Chain A
Amino acid sequence: MTWLYLGGLLAGDVALAVLYRSMSRQERLRDGAV
Chain B
Amino acid sequence: MTHWASLVVFAILVPALIILWGLPDRTADAWAWWIVPDASAIFLGAGYGAGAYFFLRTFLGRQWHPSAAGVLGAAFFAGLMLIATLIHWDKFNHGDAPLVGALVFYGWVGVYIVSPFVVMGLWCLNRRTDSGQPAPSEPIVPQRARLVGVGALAAAAVFLLSPQTMIDAWGWRLTPLTARVIGCLTAQVAVGALWLSVDRRWSAWRLIVQTYFVATALLLVGAARARGTTSTAGAR
Interface residues of A (CB under 8 A from B): 1-3, 5-6, 8-10, 12-13, 15-17, 19-20, 23, 26-27, 30
Contact between chains at B170 and A6 (CB < 8 Å): no
Secondary structure class of chain A's binding surface, majority of residues:
helix
Q: How far is the CB of B162 from chain A (nearest CB, A)?
A: 12
Which A residues are CB-close (under 8 A) to B92?
none
**Chain B 149-176, CB within 8 Å of chain A: the 1/0 string?**
0011001000000000010011110000
Q: Which of B58-66, B77-85, B95-103, B213-221 forms contacts with chain A?
A: B213-221
Q: Rank and list the top 5 A-B pairs by shortest CB-CB distance, nearest first.
A: A2-B171, A1-B169, A26-B139, A23-B202, A23-B139
Q: A3-B171, A5-B155 are in contact. Are A12 and B212 (CB under 8 A)?
A: yes
Closest to B212 in A: A16
Q: Give the residue of B148, B171, B220 whose beta carbon is less than 8 angstroms from that of A15.
A: B148
Q: How far is the CB of A25 from chain B (nearest CB, A)?
A: 9
Q: Give the residue of B171, B202, B206, B216 whose beta carbon is less than 8 angstroms from that of A12.
A: B216
Which A residues are CB-close (under 8 A) to B138?
30
Contact between chains at B223 and A16 (CB < 8 Å): no
Which B residues are CB-close (under 8 A) to A17?
213
Contact between chains at A23 and B212 (CB < 8 Å): no
A27 to B137, CA, bound (A): 9
Contact between chains at B220 and A6 (CB < 8 Å): yes
Q: Give the residue of B148, B151, B152, B170 whose beta carbon is less than 8 angstroms from that of A16.
A: B148
- Complex A-B: 30 CB contacts under 8 Å: A1-B169, A1-B170, A2-B172, A5-B155, A6-B220, A6-B223, A8-B152, A9-B216, A10-B216, A12-B216, A13-B213, A13-B216, A15-B145, A15-B148, A16-B148, A16-B212, A16-B213, A17-B213, A19-B141, A19-B142, A19-B145, A19-B205, A20-B206, A23-B205, A23-B206, A26-B139, A27-B202, A30-B137, A30-B138, A30-B139
